[in-house]
Amino acid sequence: MPEIKVTPLGAGQDVGRSCILVSIGGKNIMLDCGMHMGYNDDRRFPDFSYITQNGRLTDFLDCLIISHFHLDHCGALPYMSEMVGYDGPIYMTHPTKAICPILLEDFRKITVDKKGETNFFTSQMIKDCMKKVIPLNLHQTVQVDDELEIKAYYAGHVLGAAMVHIKVGSESVVYTGDYNMTPDRHLGAAWIDKCRPDILISESTYATTIRDSKRCRERDFLKKVHESIERGGKVLIPVFALGRAQELCILLETFWERMNLKAPIYFSTGLTEKANHYYKLFITWTNQKIRKTFVQRNMFEFKHIKAFDRSYADNPGPMVVFATPGMLHAGQSLQIFKKWAGNEKNMVIMPGYCVQGTIGHKILNGQRKLEMEGRATLDVKLQVEYMSFSAHADAKGIMQLIRMAEPRNMLLVHGEAVKMEFLKGKIEQEFSIDCYMPANGETTTVTTNPSVPVDISLNLLKREMALGGPLPDPKKPRTMHGTLIMKENVSFMLVSSEQALKELGLNEHQLRFTCHVQLQDPHSDADTLHRIYTHLKSVLKGYTIQHLPDGTVIVESIVIKVSSSAEDSNTKVLLLSWSYQVKTWTLFLEGLPMQSKPGSSPNHLVIESLF
């Protein structure tokens, strides 16, 4: 049976990392290669031993696809590609290709320089790994090889995030990565056509949540900023160059305008340059509003938001500053933080996840005394706020996506089966499809029903229709006889047996089986035959029974002849003959049924050649 195998790599219940292996039509594809941010040892990498115990992965994988630049989806990429070894193609969208190396390098610096780890990938490895990347455009089919093709769809969530459609022959799989079904200020919502994949693979981490509205999150953000400004405090917002910075800037600008606020808002210049550069390149990835704005002006040309200068950090009075990097682990945001941390009127708003080892991570865990370089301690007196703006699909979103794509089966990864039974039931009920939830390390096998299109010859079609009887009834399938010819491994044709034999230059043979049944009957041969005929006619209603002048009775295609035994004229011998198409028959004679058993050897085998 044709089947697709899906295995989320990893162990136990850990949900911090994405790395899924799919076997489809003889091809092996790895989806994402994430790092688990919670572990410090080898457990943070996916378990590649499932693929091979030792040695390179190149021979076992046809391609690797990365959905977006978040570290829990691409963090282990250089490790896998350069340390374990993989030389095959790596696919990702253009923005992901541009942003991944920056994040990986940042992450490497934190892990090696800050935490002093040794068994980690190097800067050169990141560069070497990115050389293997083949960028994808949206909605463009890419042939990985003769049989495997992939296509990227818009996923929302972050800049460059994609959902991937993978097809081998007539079997296909769609992997969603992380996606979002509601548009936000700078990204659109995920979209896919009714591609009807055999399996739709989706994360289930947020499947059992109902999201608080964007408006409430924004209200909270604005309220906190406003509270600080009102009491004369300074607000630091550490951001990564792309994504949320944009959104929060637009939000503040609109709010300042509406409320006629005067406190200055700044963003660091490093931010502007990078962000502008990338947004120019990837304008198609942002939503309609941004695109219109961008055409008219510079991405960061706001009325109330100005470029930051280092010296402004010492200015008195309230202000808001957006600065990189996002986790307070180095650079300008850390410098500003050190200056402002001692004043309880000030505030730092962390808009996203911070990796272990960074100051961001420490203060989000409630640490109020930090050890800085040179044994100096920093007292954290300012207010620390953690706000999540990341866009994920929730329970409703998953249902919407299934409605869009119409998969034949659903597969949810990274969920505990016990906590997902309701969702599984909901999906199965609403869409009448199976929903699988493999645990990490477990393989799910989904049987597919690939449809193979076959042409039928017009003669055969006409003949079958002419055989009469009512029109085809799905409840009463009728056997049709024909021959399937496969030409050049590609096209299929169904033709009549005669035509096939003609093309092959073969003679047709017919097989008939016979058997003899003995009866005691004193009547003449003709009378006995007639009695059998009348008896069968009364007993077998609904069947075609004919009594032919040549001394035979025909029941459908079974022929009955009567002759007398040579030894005793009272003993009649019935000769029954049937073609090989008749599977079983039952002879009702004088109330005693006599059956042929399928597979039993006939008393007498007659082969007649008709041509």
Partner 1 sequence: KQHYIQRRRRTKWTFARRHQTTWNKHQECSCRAVFERYKDLHVYQLEHPTQVLEWTSGNSVCVAGYSQSKNEILELRLPLKLLADENKSLCAERDFKVSHGGFTDGPVRCLTHIPGTRCAVTNDGLSSDLQVWDLGGEESDVIRRTGSIKGKRSASERGSRIAARPSSAPQVLHGAQISDVQLTELASGETLYKLETDSADPLSSLQFVSDTVFLAGCCNGSVYVADTRTSAPPQLSHSPSSAESVIWWTDAAAGPHPSSRRVIRVSSSGQAVVSDLRNLGGAGCQAQLDVQTPGRCSQVKVSWAPTLDDCISVSGFSGVVQIYNTRLWGAEPQEARPLFEHRGHAVSSQQTDDSVPTFVTSHIWHPERPRTLLSAASDGSVHVWDWVDPNRQGGSPTP
Alpha helices (H) in 66-192, listed in sequence order? 71-74, 77-78, 94-109, 123-131
CA gap 37, 17 in Å, rounded: 8
In this structure, are residues 159 and 146 in contact, taking their beta carbons and an 8 Å threshold?
Answer: no
The least distance separating partner 1 from the CB of residue 353, rounded to whole angstroms, comes to: 9
The least distance separating partner 1 from the CB of residue 401, rounded to whole angstroms, comes to: 14
- Nearest alpha-carbon partner for 25 in 409, 437, 446: 446
The nearer residue to partner 1, 422 or 580, going by C-beta atoms, is 422
For residue 465, how far is the Cα from the chain centroid? 42
The least distance separating partner 1 from the CB of residue 328, rounded to whole angstroms, comes to: 15
For residue 100, how far is the Cα from the chain centroid? 22
CA gap 361, 382 in Å, rounded: 16
| Chain residues in the site for partner 1 (CB under 8 A) | 206, 208-213, 215-217, 219-220, 222-223, 226-227, 258-259, 364-366, 383-388, 394-396, 399, 418-423, 425-426, 429
Strands (E), 32-89: 63-65
The least distance separating partner 1 from the CB of residue 181, rounded to whole angstroms, comes to: 12
Is 203 a catalytic site residue? Answer: yes
- Nearest alpha-carbon partner for 428 in 447, 409, 449: 409
The least distance separating partner 1 from the CB of residue 230, rounded to whole angstroms, comes to: 8
The nearer residue to partner 1, 46 or 360, going by C-beta atoms, is 360
The least distance separating partner 1 from the CB of residue 173, rounded to whole angstroms, comes to: 27
Give SS3 for 362: helix
The nearer residue to partner 1, 426 or 535, going by C-beta atoms, is 426
The nearer residue to partner 1, 213 or 507, going by C-beta atoms, is 213
Residues with Cβ within 8 Å of residue 264, at least 6 apart in sequence: 304, 306, 312, 319, 320
The least distance separating partner 1 from the CB of residue 422, rounded to whole angstroms, comes to: 4
The least distance separating partner 1 from the CB of residue 369, rounded to whole angstroms, comes to: 16
Peptide bond into 2 cis (omega under 30): no
For residue 360, how far is the Cα from the chain centroid? 34
Catalytic residue, candidates 203, 218, 247, 385: 203
The nearer residue to partner 1, 48 or 256, going by C-beta atoms, is 256
The nearer residue to partner 1, 65 or 399, going by C-beta atoms, is 399
CA gap 243, 246 in Å, rounded: 6
DSSP string, 478-535: -----EEEEETTTEEEEE-HHHHHHHHT----EEEEEEEEEEE--S-HHHHHHHHHHH
8-state DSSP, 597 = P
CA gap 572, 566 in Å, rounded: 9
Which H or E run includes 21? Answer: strand 20-24
Strands (E), 224-264: 234-238
The nearer residue to partner 1, 46 or 415, going by C-beta atoms, is 415
DSSP string, 291-306: HHHHHHS-TT--SSEE
Residues with Cβ within 8 Å of residue 416, at least 6 apart in sequence: 13
| Residues paired with 321 in a beta bridge | 236, 266
CA gap 31, 226 in Å, rounded: 43
The nearer residue to partner 1, 383 or 552, going by C-beta atoms, is 383
The nearer residue to partner 1, 145 or 428, going by C-beta atoms, is 428
The least distance separating partner 1 from the CB of residue 377, rounded to whole angstroms, comes to: 20
How are beta strands 347-350 and 319-323 bridged, if at all?
unpaired
CA gap 337, 335 in Å, rounded: 5
**Total length of the chain:** 611
The nearer residue to partner 1, 113 or 428, going by C-beta atoms, is 428
The least distance separating partner 1 from the CB of residue 216, rounded to whole angstroms, comes to: 5
How are beta strands 383-386 and 347-350 bridged, if at all?
parallel
Q: Which residues are catalytic?
A: 203
